[in-house]
Structure 1
Amino acid sequence: MTATATPAEAVTPRLRTALRRRRTWIAIVLVLLGGAALLVVLQGTVRAPGAPLAADNAAPVGAQALARVLAAQGVEVEQVRSLDAARDAARDGATVFLHDDLGVLDRDGLRGLAADADLIVVARPDFAALEVLAPGVRLAGLADGAPGAASCELPAAERAGALSDGQRALAVDDDAEAARFTGCFPAGDAFAVVSGTSPQGADVVLVGATTPFANATIDEAGNAALAIGLLGSRDRVAWYLPGPGDADAADAPTLGELMPGWTTPVLVLLVVVTVVAGIWRGRRFGPLVVEDLPVHVPASETGEGRARLYARGSARLRALDQLRIAAIRRLAVALRLPRSADVDAVVAGVANATGRAAADVRALLVDEEPRGDADLVRLARAVDDLERAVHETMLPDPGLDTTDPTGRRP
């Protein structure tokens, strides 16, 4: 009596197995997530939070400290979000504090603001602001060290006395001097602060850098005294930081205007060359011809490949069915059954040849299903043993005299 192996239960693949199969994609996703997190951290570290010199920005680049000091001294600080609001506040007599960090305010907007305002304080003016508000005043780069003493008649500058390092210089040429623009805090041949009257009639104070107003540097030297003196001379300040909404879309250059003149001819030439090259190569190879090529694949490779697929997908019943189908075909040939014989005829023939019960033979060849890998191996071996038993029964009797035509025993 031979011992039979206990059938293994079919189980669903565990989480660890599923993760192991997908470890490549999991690693790619983790790398992408790590890169995105690193990018967010770097952007948060490099990019200053909040708008520069915003009255409600407590970051080092903001100006919340100055706004709170002005409010404590009774000055109403109003943050305006558009050019129209700034012009309305200017017509009401408010001091306009202007810092166009993005450079979106055009010259017409600057002229209209200067025409409505009595006093404009500009922090770090750009080329457009200098051209409109103070013709003849030019940017002169970063000052080398701290600028000198005030040396001017501007009251806020006189009370400040001196400024800290990090100032940007503004040069005053002859035309600006003729228009009575004067400089304070000299830095070589230029100045850290320039004041005068704009062509539109507004009093203008140009501060080359943002250091006198920023939270990080307002407490250095006389920065605070200068900023408070300039913005606290009136009861109200219109704090205006132009944004993208103040840009005039009609003045924005088109794509054709931004492209150099040689771009269009080169693009046309590239298109023509691509089409010509395609036609040339197509004519060279001629028309397409469909040809069936013989492919020889060894049967052993096909069988091994299909077996690996069955094993990977745990398709035990399908694998056993392939073995049964092949065995039934060979059994039909061994039993001399016609090609049209069905499975029941093969089962009956095998039962007659081996003396086994037809129900057992049918269960082995058709009905019984494997419940695990061990059960699959057991059934495959049983099918092989059945096929071997049929072949043995079909061999001639060794005691039979094959030379006697009647087939009688000696």
Structure 2
Amino acid sequence: MTPGVRRTLRRGRTWIVIALALLAGALVLVVVQGAVRAPGSPLAADNPAPGGAQALARVLADRGVEVGQVRSLDGALDAARGGATILLHDDLGVLDRERVRELASVADRIVVARPDFAALEVLAPGVRLAGAAGDAPADAACALPAADRAGALSDGQRLLAIDDDAEASGFAGCFPSGDGFAVVAGTSPDGAEVVLVGATTPFANETIDEAGNAALAIGLLGERDAVAWYLPGPGDADAADAPSLAELTPGWVSPVLVLLVVVTVAAGIWRGRRFGPLVVEDLPVHVPASETGEGRARLYARGSARLRSLDQLRIGSIRRLAAALRLPRSAEVDAVVAAAASTTGRPAASVRALLVDAEPQGDRDLVRLARDLDGLERAVHAAISPDQALEATDPTGRRP
């Protein structure tokens, strides 16, 4: 009945399989995410991955341009006050219009890679997103020196459209493709010189060496002695402007939740009343002692509780020995050991080891100790039983 390793594994094979499946799924997820997600921040100056821009940052540094990477708006404002060119790439879209306007009011020159709606509305009103270019722009067709030196750009460009108001305010496009431009330059309402690059391909490591991408990127960022590489992080987001849970939740959710609560309570009451009122009645219960003993023995065997099983046998033996030796119920174990040893003539150490100290190392030891306990009880009863002849002459059965 004692479960072994094989039996234990067979009993828990379902949970083992589930745990292995979950572990395998987690490993697959980690591998897939590691293979799909590019390491480092996109377009970061210290990121050597294909989506980073470490190559451009090192080329600028070799040309004497001081490249400083900032991850907070305060750092970008300090760099702008020092006259540095601000390279802005808000990949997460965390900057709101107020923060972009604050940056534009301080900076003299801002280069925006893949601008979002907030940047376009604040820095270049009238300029909007116009999709992706079908072919690689092959002609700058503008007066921007950096674009003119680049001559052409690689595939993967995104376009920006200029409406009449933006054109009247001085915004002009470079690298035309259809109705849009890959690069748009002009002056923001706050007076900052703004260059909008629709895509990140002119700056990224994997595409900077294609066509005139490198010439455009170096020309835009190398005009001044310092460049502030500003990649906004979650700390730049305005927590006060974040929508609340109630604002994000559709209007039908709250009524449905209330209805579900009401239906759950009604269903509980309905199902509960079907069983009728509770009845308190004393029911006679008879459990045979043999079934209780067998059930407890199976539990001990299933849990490999050999010592606990032996202790139960010892407790019963000690009680029976104390009663047979006419000892009080409050007698200590040592008194029972001494009386049993004196009665049977056995050494007190061996009797104590049998009743207290010995521990079974396996099922065989448990069976042997149980038999020894039974033998000790038999020996005590045999030693204290009255002589047959004396029993016939002395009706009281007293010992001589």
**TM-score normalised to structure 1 length:** 0.73
Structure 1 match to 2:195: 205
CA pair 65-368 structure 1, distance change in 2 beyond 3 A: closer
CA pair 329-89 structure 1, distance change in 2 beyond 3 A: closer
Segment of structure 1 superposing worse, 277-286 or 104-113: 277-286
Query: Are 2:163 and 1:170 equivalent residues in the alignment?
Result: no
Which of 77, 83, 92 is equivalent to 1:93? 83
Deviations 1:295-342 (A, max 9, x none): 55455443333333444211353354477489879999xxxx9xx9x9
Structure 2 match to 1:400: none
Distance (whole Å) between structure 1 residues aligned to residue 297 and residue 270 of structure 2: 49
Query: Are 2:354 and 1:369 equivalent residues in the alignment?
Result: yes
Describe how 1:300-379 pairs up with structure 2 within 5 A: 300-311=290-301, 312-315=304-307, 317-318=310-311, 320-321=313-314, 324=317, 358-359=343-344, 369=354, 371=358, 372=360, 373=365, 375-376=368-369, 378-379=371-372
In the alignment, residue 192 of structure 2 is paired with which amino acid? A
Query: Are 2:137 and 1:147 equivalent residues in the alignment?
Result: yes
Distance (whole Å) between structure 2 residues aligned to residue 331 and residue 377 of structure 1: 19
Structure 1 match to 2:392: none
Structure 1 match to 2:224: 234
Query: In the TM superposition, what is the alpha-carbon distance from 1:250 to its structure 2 partner?
Result: 1.8
In the alignment, residue 160 of structure 1 is paired with which amino acid? A
Describe how 1:244-323 pairs up with structure 2 within 5 A: 244-282=234-272, 285-295=275-285, 297=287, 299-311=289-301, 312-315=304-307, 317-318=310-311, 320-321=313-314
Secondary structure in 2 matching 1:242: coil
CA pair 213-19 structure 1, distance change in 2 beyond 3 A: farther
Distance (whole Å) between structure 2 residues aligned to residue 19 and residue 67 of structure 1: 61
CA pair 58-383 structure 1, distance change in 2 beyond 3 A: same
Distance (whole Å) between structure 1 residues aligned to residue 79 and residue 381 of structure 2: 106
Query: Are 2:107 and 1:117 equivalent residues in the alignment?
Result: yes
In the alignment, residue 317 of structure 1 is paired with which amino acid? L
In the alignment, residue 173 of structure 2 is paired with which amino acid? G
CA pair 277-304 structure 1, distance change in 2 beyond 3 A: closer
Matched-pair contact (CA < 8 Å) for 1:327–1:383: no
Structure 2 match to 1:222: 212
Deviations 1:90-119 (A, max 9, x none): 233322111011111111222222232222
Distance (whole Å) between structure 2 residues aligned to residue 220 and residue 36 of structure 1: 38
CA pair 283-241 structure 1, distance change in 2 beyond 3 A: same
Distance (whole Å) between structure 2 residues aligned to residue 386 and residue 246 of structure 1: 89
Structure 1 match to 2:171: 181
Secondary structure in 2 matching 1:369: helix
Secondary structure in 2 matching 1:186: strand
CA pair 320-261 structure 1, distance change in 2 beyond 3 A: closer
Distance (whole Å) between structure 2 residues aligned to residue 175 and residue 228 of structure 1: 30
Segment of structure 1 superposing worse, 99-108 or 167-176: 167-176
Segment of structure 1 superposing worse, 154-163 or 17-26: 17-26
Matched-pair contact (CA < 8 Å) for 1:307–1:319: no
CA pair 317-246 structure 1, distance change in 2 beyond 3 A: closer
Structure 2 match to 1:138: 128
Higher CA-based Rg = 1
Query: Are 2:41 and 1:56 equivalent residues in the alignment?
Result: no
Two-structure CA RMSD over aligned residues (Å):
4.5
Secondary structure in 1 matching 2:205: coil
Name structure 1 gaps, 5 residues minimum: 1-12, 352-356, 396-410
**TM-score normalised to structure 2 length:** 0.74
In the alignment, residue 176 of structure 2 is paired with which amino acid? P
Q: Identity of paired residues, percent? A: 69
User: How many residue pairs get matched?
Assistant: 368
